[in-house]
Amino acid sequence: MSELLKNRYEFVLYFDVVNGNPNGDPDAGNMPRIDPQTGYGIVSDVCLKRKVRNYVQFARENDEGFDIYVSEGAVLNNKQREAYEVNDLKTKDNKDDKLTAQAYMCRRFYDVRAFGAVMDTGDYKCGQVRGPIQLCFSKSEDVILQQEVTITRMASTTEKENASENRTMGRKYLVPYGLYRLEGFVSAKFAQKTGFTKDDLDLFFEALRLMFDQDRSASRGKMSARKLFVFKHDSELGNAPAATLFDLVEAKLIDPSQPARSFKHYEITADKGSAPDGVELIELL
Instruction: Assess contact for 15 and 212: CB atoms under 8 A.
Output: yes
**pTM greater than the 0.75 cutoff:** yes
- CA dist 113 and 165 (Å) reads 56
Pairing of strands 127-130, 138-143: unpaired
* Percentage, residues of the chain above pLDDT 70: 93
Cβ atoms within 10 Å, residue 136: 14
Task: Provide mean pLDDT across the span 257-275.
Answer: 93
Instruction: Assess contact for 135 and 43: CB atoms under 8 A.
Output: no
Q: Please, which residues bridge with residue 230 across strands?
A: 11, 282
List the domain boundaries for the chain: 9-61+131-283
Residue-wise pLDDT for 32-58, tens only, equals 999 999 999 999 999 999 999 999 999
Provide the H-helix boundaries in 134-211: 159-163, 188-194, 198-210
